[in-house]
Structures are given as structure tokens and as C-alpha cells.
Amino acid sequence: MTLQQQDLHARLDAHLARFNRSDAPGLVVGVARDGRALYRKGFGMTSLEHAVANTPATRMRIGSTSKHFTCLAALLLAQDGKLDIDASVRTYMPELPVLAGEPTLRQLMTHTSGYRCYLDLSVITQGINAIGPGVPLAIELRQQDVNFAPGERMLYCNGGYHLLSLIIARVSEMSFEKFLDERIFRVMGMSDTESVGDDLRIRPRMATQHVPDGEGGYLRGLFPSHEVLGEGGIVSTIDDMLKWAAHLRRPGRLGSPDTWREMLEMPTYSSGEVGVYASGLMRTQYRNVETIHHAGGVFGGTCQMLTVPSHALDIVLMSNGAPVDPVALATEFVDIVLGDEVLGPPRQTAEPTSANPGLLGKYLCAAPLQLVEIVEREGGLHASPQNQPYPPQPLIADERGYRIEDGAGARMRVIPHERVASGSVPAIDFIDCGHVVTLTRYEGVPPAEALGAEGLCGEYFSHDADAHAVISMIDGELTLSIRGATGSVRYHLNALTREVWTFEPADASALSAGTARVERSEDKATRFSLNTSRTRGLTFSRIG
């Protein structure tokens, strides 16, 4: 090991020292340059239950980092002449309903299909309770509406990747898992990599996923579906993933040049704006270098795979419950390995709140329903669209206003209107994938009697979610209870206006949050629709 490598090891060890524990889950880390491993190490425990530590050989779920393997599988079939990625999805799955146009396979790959996501619908209606094999497809088949017309914009959709996986299985006449194994993993010599569709399956050397229980202990992390396919089913090691990342930069064993060009082609939305989410991979600028990457998250685990092609730098991080943001940590590794001399000026951070304090507050548009809250976090401006439960995202100033970096490939920005005499911003233009909606400052909750809360109480049913809902007043607080096929969840309802409400989790099973739009006949609500980060207009109609 050279002195330079020793210094790199020491710096990375120091950076990761907080994870070097025997009483907590951890992570495995791999860094390579020119296809040669510079750093391979495990931290924390692969199983607290059995007192086994993480090592570079530990196998972990990579979650949505799986997605580009699914896209490659489809493109290999296209290369074989068996599949057309620009054909309608219904060419291969004619049982799918005709809704607002027929999306293509490519649009499934770029999250621009407009289809609703089975996983988000399941989590909205039954929280962490798992659904069985065949249910994801059944949910997609019962939809009578979409999030948007195909190609209009990008909205992350695991359901689209599930459909793509089923199409790959139909066209190849073998299981999706077998196709990945025979056409990709074996060819690449990735002997520790496989697609595992159910967290109840026990596999060799596979880490336990740990979820904090809120009382200082952990629960076993189980994905809320027993049929996880191309949306996030792969299990791997850092060595296999580093091998794969090197091939991603300089493909040779798999796919034609056209196949790899297609993999990295970025979509153009109906607005004319070009996205950054290609086929299961994102292409974004980090300081002075382009990066190709995709993160992944499961219940009790996270992953990030990142490559910097211009410097042949590959980074893979996988955790089984360590409290870590793998996306941020991977870019910190880029900083450490390449340094300021290569990378140039530091990455731009959130606009200081002091630069525009009048922007803080909530902004609302009732139709189409959109809510954006601008908050202060660590002295900077951050945005939270659609009342989401995730940490707010930084507002990065540029020549067009502020862009929102959400980490999932969405293209969003905020353009403040001119400040009024008081110094506050009266409205903002919220731009999503090039589409503009004007939101006005929300000034506060009107008197309770004007909100018509009592008129919301009653029983409702959603055909698309196959779920019943009850809105009731409990101890003076409006509560939304939803029961799906395998479980139930409760939410708190809070009024913004007579027509617009927000909802947040009210029990341990609920994970979703968002906005609700109410339709009434006089004072009585006839139906309401829910928006989350991945679902638009999920309607529940009154039945009692």
C-alpha cells in the first residue's frame, strides 16, 4: 500500500468512525479507482440478534439501485429483437386499462408513464402491512385514473418497474430473477448477487435490516410486499457492485453501444424541459464533474452506487440500518478522493435565510392542488412540497430563482414574486418538470366554524385503492382512518381552507403524509382526493 493509499484509508476510517460499533447496525463501503479497490470495509453489525459484524463479504439489499439492472434487461431483449421499448406497455400487457393514453416501456423506465404506483397506494391505505404475490399487478389493473398523461412529467413510480419486470418475464419466457441471473449476473461474474423477492426468504450471508423501534431497540425491517421485482429486489456485495460500476463506465461484456447509449439517454418532458433521470440511472453534475448514480432504500437499509466516469472513480455504500444518508456520504467520499484541485469550488448549499427571510411560509394553490412550505433549516432556506414527511430539501439559488434538489430525479424550482412593502413574498411560481403553477401565500387557518369539519364525517370508499375510509371527530380532532386489504392506518386531518386539508400519520403503521382536496354538496362532503409525493388525486367517494 502506497503512502497515498494509507492516507486515504486513514481519512476514510476517521470519516466513518462513528459507525464502528458493536451495539448497532452499520454499513459496508467500497471505493475503487480504475477498477482497482482502494477501500473495502464493514462497520457495525450485520445482525444484532446473532452478534455478527459487517464485513466486505456481507450481502445487503440495494433497493432501488436495482432499477437500472431492470432497464438493462429490457434493453438486452430489445437488442435481441424481442422487445421494443418505444412500444405501448399494452403491446405486452393488453390487460392493462386504457387511461390517459398508453405509455411506452421507455416511459416506465424514466418514471414518466403517469401510472399510479402500487406501493404508494398500498402504503397510503395500509401502511407497513405487506401485500402478497400478484397484488401489485392487481392494483395496477384496477386503476381508473392516472397521475398525469404519459410524458408530461416525472413522478417516481415503483409500480412501473414492477410492470416492466413482468413484461421481461413474459417476453423472455423465464422468471425475471432467472433472466437477471443468466443474462447479467453470471456474465459479469457477480456470484454474490441475486434478485430476492421477499424479505421472509433466508439467504446466505445476508444482513438483517434494522428499523429503530423508538425505545432504543430495533425491529426487523420487512418490505411491505412479498413480490419485489425490478423495482428493488437485488441483494449484492460491495465487491460485486464495484465490479459492476467499473463496467458501467466502460461496458464491454454486456450490451451493444446503442444499448448503453439508450441507458443514459435523458428524457424530455412535454414542457420541453430535459430531465436528469435516464433509464434507472441519474446523471447529475457534482461540483466540476458529472456523476452517474442511483440510490436505494428498503425498510431498514439504504444504498448508493455512484461513478465519476471522467476520473474512473466508483463508490458503493450499503447500510442495514445505520443512521446515514448514503447520497450525501458518497459525495463526501468524492470530495475526499478527488479533492478541491480537481473538483473546484465547494458545492453550492441552501440559500441563507437572511438573504430572503420574506420567503418563509406556506404557499397554496387549490386547483391544481399544490402546497409548498418554505422553512429555515440550519440557517438556510428549504422547501417541503405536498406536506411530505421527509426532511425539507435545500433551495439552491441560480439565475432562474431557486432549484430544489430532491435526490430522486425530480426537476422542481421556486421563483418568488416581488416582495410587498412588509417584506414578505406574496406568491411563488412552483415549477415541476417545466410546468408552472402559481401559489399564493397562505395566511392562516380561518375560524373553525367556517371549515365545515362536521360535514366531512362519514364513510367513504376508493375503487382505485380498494380501501374503505372513515372520517370522524375524536376528542375534538378530525381523524381519517383507512382500511385496505391487509391492514389499516390512521391520519390526523388539519384544515388549511374549507376545501384543502393536510394529513399526517396518527399511528405507528402510517408512513404517508400529504394534502387532501374536499368536494361538497352544500355543507356535506361528497368525496375527497389525496395527494402524496408519488400519488395524485386518489379519490374516496362517500358511501355513508
pLDDT of residue 162: 99
The C-alpha angle with vertex 295 and arms to 290 and 300, in degrees rounded to 5, equals: 155
pLDDT score of 2 more than 80: no
pLDDT score of 1 more than 70: no
Instruction: Judge whether 456 and 518 are in contact, CB under 8 Å.
Output: yes
The residue with greater pLDDT, 406 or 353, is 353
Other CB atoms within a 10 A radius of the CB of residue 436 amount to: 11
Mean pLDDT of the region 297-304: 97
Q: For residue 261, what is the enclosing H or E element?
A: helix 257-263
Mean pLDDT of the region 363-385: 96
141-151 confidence digits (pLDDT tens):
999 999 999 99
pLDDT score of 23 more than 80: yes
pLDDT score of 40 more than 90: yes
CA distance 441 to 301: 38
Mean pLDDT of the region 444-456: 75
pLDDT of residue 179: 99
H-type alpha helices, 279-406: 326-343
pLDDT score of 346 more than 70: yes
Phi-psi region of 72 (alpha: psi -120 to 50; beta: other; left: phi over 0): alpha
- Contacts of 50 by beta carbon, 8 Å cutoff, 6+ apart: none
Render 244-256 in DSSP notation, one character per residue.
HHHHHHS--SSS-
- Contacts of 493 by beta carbon, 8 Å cutoff, 6+ apart: 456, 471, 478, 479, 480, 501, 502, 503, 516
412-435 confidence digits (pLDDT tens):
999 999 999 999 999 999 999 999
pLDDT of residue 523: 87
Mean pLDDT of the region 335-355: 96
Strands 45-47 and 52-53: antiparallel
pLDDT of residue 408: 72
Instruction: Judge whether 535 and 121 are in contact, CB under 8 Å.
Output: yes
Domains of the chain: 60-114+149-199+221-288+328-343 (3.40.710.10), 353-441 (2.40.128.50), 448-542 (2.40.128.50)
pLDDT score of 123 more than 70: yes
Strands 477-483 and 301-308: unpaired
pLDDT of residue 230: 98
pLDDT of residue 515: 97
CA distance 89 to 53: 44
pLDDT score of 54 more than 70: yes
Instruction: Judge whether 359 and 367 are in contact, CB under 8 Å.
Output: no
451-480 confidence digits (pLDDT tens):
778 899 999 999 999 999 999 998 889 999
| 236 class by beta-carbon count within 10 Å (0-12 exposed, 13-18 middle, 19+ buried) | buried
CA distance 338 to 31: 12
pLDDT of residue 445: 72
Cell numbers placing 424: 414578505
pLDDT score of 449 more than 80: no
Mean pLDDT of the region 392-414: 88
CA distances from 512 to 11, 481, 539 (A): 39, 13, 16
Which one, of 366, 246, 337, 415, lies nearest residue 38 by Cα? Answer: 337
CA distance 347 to 325: 17
N residues, the chain: 544
Instruction: Judge whether 347 and 331 are in contact, CB under 8 Å.
Output: yes
Cell numbers placing 66: 436495482
Over the chain, what is the mean pLDDT? Answer: 95
pLDDT score of 447 more than 70: no
The C-alpha angle with vertex 333 and arms to 380 and 344, in degrees rounded to 5, equals: 65
pLDDT of residue 405: 79
- Contacts of 165 by beta carbon, 8 Å cutoff, 6+ apart: 70, 176, 229, 230, 231
Can you tell me whether residue 474 is helix, strand or coil? strand
Can you tell me whether residue 151 is helix, strand or coil? coil
Mean pLDDT of the region 44-68: 98
Mean pLDDT of the region 5-10: 89
pLDDT of residue 434: 96
| 252 class by beta-carbon count within 10 Å (0-12 exposed, 13-18 middle, 19+ buried) | exposed
Q: Contacts by 34-37 with C-beta closer than 8 Å and gap 24+?
A: 34/312, 35/246, 35/312, 35/314, 37/239, 37/242
Place of cell 376508493: 462
pLDDT score of 71 more than 80: yes
Instruction: Judge whether 442 and 363 are in contact, CB under 8 Å.
Output: yes
Q: For residue 40, what is the enclosing H or E element?
A: strand 36-43
Of the listed ranges 6-10, 322-326, 512-516, the least confidently predicted one is 6-10
Of the listed ranges 45-54, 158-167, 244-253, 266-275, the least confidently predicted one is 244-253
pLDDT of residue 61: 99
pLDDT score of 120 more than 80: yes
pLDDT-derived band of residue 192, with 50, 70 and 90 as boundaries? very high
CA distance 39 to 315: 9
